[in-house]
Amino acid sequence: MMIWFKEYLKLKRALFALLIFHAAIAAYFWIGIRSSFIAGSPVAIWRNVFETNTFFFSVFEKPLYVTGLALAIFQFYPESDKRRFRISCHLPANEYLTTARMITFTIAALTLFWLLDTLCALLAAAYYFPYEVFSQVPLVTFYWYINALLFYAVASVLTLEPSWKHKIRLFIMFAAFYKLIGISIYNSSGIYIVYLLISAALFLSAIFYPAERFRKGAE
């Protein structure tokens, strides 16, 4: 818990700013939905959603990705820029457990932001849309959440890696998986979600590679 508390102290300003950001997105979303139903016909809006296969709550997608990127940078840039990560890893605790606890803290924070966005989308769907729309919200936002984890993992690896040559190599390697994030949930089956979960787990485990190199003072 000491590591989690240290991470909270380090990220509390970023977390507060991101909370305000997501709250603003939620307010914008609710105002937009309410205005649409006041100005237009509910049936026409429902038909447009079904016929065009669009998500009326897509406003939450990119902010979740931005949150993953921001958390990675704010978490690991101070550690690498000020060489604090090596000090953290030499505390009287297993360095791999220390790194894992740092990662799980941020995953927990990202999960809370995802749950906040999902709850807002679910409340709007339950109030303004039929069940057919309401039922797809958790799956779609979960798909975005996994992609946000991928963004966090990649940004963490590139931020923590001490060598610019290795940064470029890792960026090229990760770029090969870019299209994973671009595939629409409408164009994929349930097995794709499982595949993304496995990919996210592998990408998150990749953070231990630059962490180990940084701990040993690699350049």
Q: 201-216, pLDDT tens digit by residue?
A: 888 888 888 777 766 6
Burial bucket for residue 116 (CB in 10 Å: 0-12, 13-18, 19+): middle
The set of long-range contacts for 78-85, using a CB threshold of 8 Å and a minimum separation of 24, is: 78/10, 79/160, 80/159, 80/160, 80/162, 80/214, 85/160, 85/211, 85/214, 85/215
Q: What is the pLDDT of residue 188?
A: 54
**Which of 24, 144, 11 lies closest to 79 in space, CA to CA?**
11
Residue 83 confidence (pLDDT): 58
| pLDDT at residue 38 in the model | 72
As a whole number of angstroms, the distance between CA 18 and CA 66 comes to 9
pLDDT digits (tens, 9 = 90+) for 161-200: 877 787 788 788 777 776 665 555 555 556 777 777 888 8
Domain that holds residue 135: 2-215
Two structure tokens written together for 170: 């890792």
- Residue 57's nearest CA partner among 139, 112, 1, 163 is 139
Out of 26-40, 153-167, 171-185, pick the least confident: 171-185
Q: Which of 207, 186, 185, 206 is nearest to 196 (CA)?
A: 185
Q: Rounded to 5 degrees, what are φ and ψ at 183?
A: -75, 130
More confident residue, 17 or 37: 17
Stretch 19-23: mean pLDDT: 96
Tell me the whole-structure pTM to 2 decimals: 0.83
First to last CA, the chain: 31
For residue 100, the model assigns a pLDDT of: 87
Q: What pLDDT, on a 0 to 100 scale, did the predictor assign at position 208?
A: 85
Q: How many domains does the chain have?
A: 1
Of 199 and 120, the structure prediction assigns the larger pLDDT to: 120
Torsion angles phi and psi, residue 186, rounded to 5: -70, -20
68 — pLDDT class (breaks 50, 70, 90): very high
Confidence band for 24, pLDDT divided at 50, 70 and 90: very high
For residue 67, pLDDT beyond 60: yes
